[in-house]
Amino acid sequence: MTDQTETGTDAEILFPDVVVTLSSGEQVTVREFRYLEGLRACALARPLLDRLRELGASAATQTVIETLLLEHWETWTELLCLACDRDRRWLSQLADQDGMTLTMAFWRANSGFFMRRLVLHSGAERTLGAVLATLCPSPSCSMSSSAPATAETRERSPTG
């Protein structure tokens, strides 16, 4: 027997979709991006993700996030439409409170999606750096081709 109040159901963990009720009484499901949607979302969100990476985790305050969303409002609008399976026209007719409700639901549903991208990106950079340092520990080692042989290098060469 599992304690579902603490851990959630398997479906909630796999697909943490959020259902919200708007002021009109309409219920809207805000989905976590599935794989193919995620590819599109990553392409759309690249400028936003790049800015978040530049700022670093310590700078990600609510004010900074709001500023980033304002800077990238068209991207944000497309991401919301994608997560809700609605169009821009529908979104443009929402009351401010409903828009904020959708925004909060979006972050609940997709925070894991964005964190994975941020962590994978920074982790990949660290991993690549570690691999290169392991393969080539000497500071003089480079990945470029070696310099052309000169008379001096031929003299020092065991075969020269």
Give the pLDDT confidence score for residue 144 in this predicted structure: 44
- Does residue 24 lie within any of the structural domains? no
pLDDT band per the 50, 70, 90 thresholds, residue 24: very high
Confidence check: pLDDT of 90 > 60: yes
Classify residue 83: in a domain, yes or no: yes
Neighbours of 74 (CB within 10 A): 9
Are 106 and 30 contacting, i.e. CB atoms less than 8 angstroms apart?
yes
Dig out the tokens for 147 from the structure: 């310099």
Mean pLDDT of 75-95: 96
Number of domains in the chain: 1
Structural domain contains residue 68: yes
Q: How confident is the model at residue 1, as a pLDDT?
A: 42
CA distance 76 to 66: 11
Query: Residue 78: its pLDDT value, please?
Result: 95
Residue-range definition of the domain harbouring residue 54? 35-130
Quick check: is 154 in a domain? no
Is residue 18 scored above 50 in pLDDT? yes
The reply to whether 110 falls in a domain is yes
Of 44 and 120, more confident: 44
Residue 8 within a domain? no
Q: Give start and end residues of each alpha helix (H) in the chain.
A: 4-7, 10-14, 35-55, 62-71, 73-84, 88-92, 96-135, 151-156
- In a domain? residue 82: yes
What 3-state class would DSSP assign to 3? coil
Look at residue 61 and tell me if it is in a domain: yes
Tell me the whole-structure pTM to 2 decimals: 0.65
